């Protein structure tokens, strides 16, 4: 699980964020599984948040080339992913269980940072120890 593997993993993650964030920005609330119509305010808010998802993907994709030096960005993205999983859990507690797709997403959001952050730290540490 070296540098190339981390780069491929983060590229996949960023392309997913840009793709699905972009779809939600264009399609709005109907991009959510099971939603046929939504109030205009909810649709507007969801589209707005979707752009942040796209931009997070852009930042991660931009970091892939210099992954050893992007510790802060990877930690911030990892924290945001984990926080997103936590608020999905809060939603389950307050509104009930969503479609299974969102339960899988929540699982990934809670687990991926636990893999991604230490992996990047290891790659960064190896790069630092290779420097004379």
Q: What is the pLDDT of residues 79-125, one digit of tens each?
A: 999 999 999 999 999 999 999 999 999 999 999 999 999 999 999 99
Q: Is residue 14 packed enough to be buried (19+ CB in 10 Å), middle (13-18) or exposed (0-12)?
A: buried
Sign of CA dihedral 85, 88, 93, 97: negative
DSSP secondary structure code for residue 1 in this structure: -
State pLDDT tens for residues 20-54: 999 999 999 999 998 999 999 999 999 999 999 99
Note whether residue 13 is domain-resident.
Answer: yes
Take residue 78 and report the two structure tokens written for it: 């990892």
Is 79 a domain residue? yes
Q: How many residues does the chain have?
A: 132
Encoded tokens for 52: 């942040």
Record the pTM: 0.88
The per-residue b/e assignment along 33-71, b for 16 or more CB within 10 angstroms, e otherwise, is eeeeeeeeeebeebbeebeebbebbeebbebbeebbebb
pLDDT at residue 131 greater than cutoff 60: no
Q: In 3-state terms, what secondary structure has residue 98? A: coil
Q: How far apart are CA 132 and CA 121, in angstroms?
A: 19
pLDDT confidence of residue 128:
74
What CA–CA distance (Å, rounded) separates 78 from 56? Answer: 11
Residue 83 is part of which domain span? Answer: 3-127
| Domain count for the chain | 1
Is the model's pLDDT at 132 over the cut of 60?
A: no
Residue 56, domain member (yes or no): yes
Q: How far apart are CA 110 and CA 104, in angstroms?
A: 10
The answer to whether residue 47 sits within a structural domain is yes
């Amino acid at each position: 699980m070296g540098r190339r593997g981390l780069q491929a993993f983060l590229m996949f993650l960023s392309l997913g964020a840009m793709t699905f964030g972009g779809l939600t920005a264009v399609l709005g609330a109907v991009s959510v599984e099971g939603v046929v119509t939504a109030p205009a305010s909810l649709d507007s808010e969801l589209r707005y948040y979707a752009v942040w998802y796209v931009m997070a993907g852009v930042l991660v994709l931009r970091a892939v080339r210099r992954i050893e030096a992007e510790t802060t960005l990877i930690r911030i993205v990892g924290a945001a992913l984990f926080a997103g999983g936590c608020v999905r859990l809060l939603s389950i507690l307050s509104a009930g269980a969503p479609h299974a797709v969102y339960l899988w997403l929540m699982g990934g959001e809670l687990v991926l940072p636990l893999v991604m952050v230490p992996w990047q730290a290891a790659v960064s540490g190896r790069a630092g120890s290779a420097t004379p």
